[in-house]
Homo-oligomer: A and B are copies of this chain.
Amino acid sequence: MVDTILQKAQTAFLSYKRINGKEKARFLRAIADEIENLGPNLIEVIAQETHLSESRIVSERSRTTGHCRMFASLVEEGSWVEARWDTALPNRTPTPQPDIRKMLHPLGPVVVFGAANFPLAYSTAGGDTASALAAGCPVVVKGHPAHPATSAMVAQAIDQAARHTGMPEGVFQHVSGGIEIGQALVAHPLTRAVGFTGSLAGGKALFDLAQQRPVPIPVFAEMSSINPVILLPTSLQTNPELPAKALAASLTTGMGQFCTCPGLVMGVRSAGLDQFIDHYLRAVQSVAPGPMLHSGIAENYYQRVHQTVTATKVTNLLPANPRGNPLHGHPGVAMVAAADFLMTPSLQEEVFGPFALVVICEDRHELTQVISHLPGQLTCTLWGEEAEIQQYSGWLNLLMEKAGRLIINGVPTGVEVCPSMQHGGPFPATTDARFTAVGPDAIKRFVRPIAYQNFPDSLLPAELQPHNPLGIWRIKDGQWGKD
């Protein structure tokens, strides 16, 4: 089965890769339209399968149709291909320089593994699928087993969009099945890249498999992040309630089931920090328990919380307790001294859900130590006043090495879909910090440059034609412009 799927994807690739940006844009917009056309039926199915609230689903739907349309605009405009043109220098000595032009081209069939926590935005028509299709890569989605009906409905919408806009058969395929099918998709010789959002164990296993192929392929896996928050003294002195409320809301929104959930908070022991903790616990405590995505995630949450709060010298400040409904998530907060945190590596592992660990440092030196020992993250957040952050700019310098996105006096949840977004970070946050899963630059994961030397104009893509018929930004003889 997997071979038939990839053969079909490869056949589609050889024609889809030549389809121009305007047509790909029509396809991507049609996907957005078809998802909207599914109407309240889709909302109901998702609510049944994921227990997410209607408002959350509606907002995730507009995020999903939003990124489909964003990639449509990107490929319609066309400058994303990074066109470069060095004109010939026939009189150069000792040897003439030939005419060379270059642009980005799609890699080939991409296999996408959707996430449990975003049944729309990081799933069947999620950011990986949309960016790969925008790049010119056929996509094979392995539907997430936690929301099979949702995945099938969205897959039908994409199929419909492909048919209506005359895309080649096989440009999108949807597969259900277990781990074996997923592994076979990654291992197939015609697969050219993989997009994954999920657990560290799952992502790392697929990454390893892809690197051990006779022909290794790129895997962008977004896996694990505890999104540390550092509270500086002045911000705690002046108004500890402000970060406390903001971080409590960020921790508990969507029952903490976000890859950017702030699961680690740290500061130097002080009256301000005590006040912060009071406010924080009060704010977290006020959040009513609510359903998690599915029972497996809830079970795993309570198990991981249990492991954490029963670790040596961890104080359970706000016990997470399902209170009779095993599907319900209940926020939890624990506390540990920095010295103990540093000695217990397991405390640095992600607890997926609304749980935060507060790390108490004795002084700035110890805070620096904790920061230094952090593994790679999607985000790091700093609460403090401008002058203080400037004074201790060494922290910022260190934090840069830990994360893909740095936030000051804000919260990591709420990932904007925009050109400046970096949703990716050093391992284990992702498998390759050089790429992002969100925003237009996500397309770069699935493309490679091809240079054309001494080509007659008639054989070049429109993007590289002399008179720039698409009006895109290019670098010609070293200069940016639209000439």
Encoded as 1 (CB less than 8 Å from any B CB) or 0, chain A from 282 to 318 comes to: 0000000000000000000000000000000000000
Q: Inside 8 A of A17's CB, which chain B residues have their CB?
A: 400
A389 to B457, CA, bound (A): 12
Q: State whether B216 touches A453 (Cβ < 8 A).
A: no
Q: Inside 8 A of A84's CB, which chain B residues have their CB?
A: 419-420, 441
Find the B residue at minimum CB distance from A422. B451
- Our pick among B97, B108, B389 for the contact of A459 (Cβ within 8 Å) is B389
A473 within 8 A of partner (CB): yes
Q: State whether A420 touches B454 (Cβ < 8 A).
A: no
Q: Inside 8 A of A450's CB, which chain B residues have their CB?
A: 400, 403-406, 422
A432 within 8 A of partner (CB): yes
- Nearest chain B CB to A226 CB, angstrom units: 16
Among A46-54, A207-215, A335-343, A349-357, the one that faces the other chain is: A207-215
A456 to B389, CA, bound (A): 10
- Nearest chain B CB to A359 CB, angstrom units: 22
Q: Inside 8 A of A458's CB, which chain B residues have their CB?
A: 386, 390
- Our pick among B401, B406, B416, B451 for the contact of A455 (Cβ within 8 Å) is B406
- Our pick among B86, B397, B459 for the contact of A419 (Cβ within 8 Å) is B86
Q: State whether A404 touches B451 (Cβ < 8 A).
A: yes
Find the B residue at minimum CB distance from A74. B478
Interface size on A, residues (CB 8 A): 78
Q: Inside 8 A of A14's CB, which chain B residues have their CB?
A: 397-398
Q: State whether A427 touches B97 (Cβ < 8 A).
A: no
Q: Inside 8 A of A211's CB, which chain B residues have their CB?
A: 207-208, 211, 216
A373 within 8 A of partner (CB): no
- Nearest chain B CB to A149 CB, angstrom units: 28
A164 within 8 A of partner (CB): no
- Nearest chain B CB to A25 CB, angstrom units: 15
- Our pick among B82, B390, B407 for the contact of A453 (Cβ within 8 Å) is B407
Enumerate 14 A-B pairs (CB-CB under 8 Å) in ascending A order: A14-B397, A84-B441, A86-B419, A86-B421, A98-B410, A108-B401, A215-B426, A218-B432, A218-B434, A390-B459, A405-B453, A409-B454, A419-B478, A436-B449
Q: Which residues of A approach B to under 8 Å, CB–CB?
A: 14, 17-18, 59, 79, 82, 84-86, 94-95, 97-98, 100-102, 105, 107-108, 207-208, 211, 215-216, 218, 375-376, 386, 389-390, 393, 396-398, 400-401, 403-410, 414, 416, 418-422, 424, 426-428, 431-434, 436, 441, 444, 447-456, 458-459, 473, 475, 478, 480
Nearest 10 Cβ contacts at the A-B interface: A422-B451, A84-B420, A405-B451, A100-B420, A211-B211, A102-B420, A84-B419, A407-B453, A433-B448, A86-B418
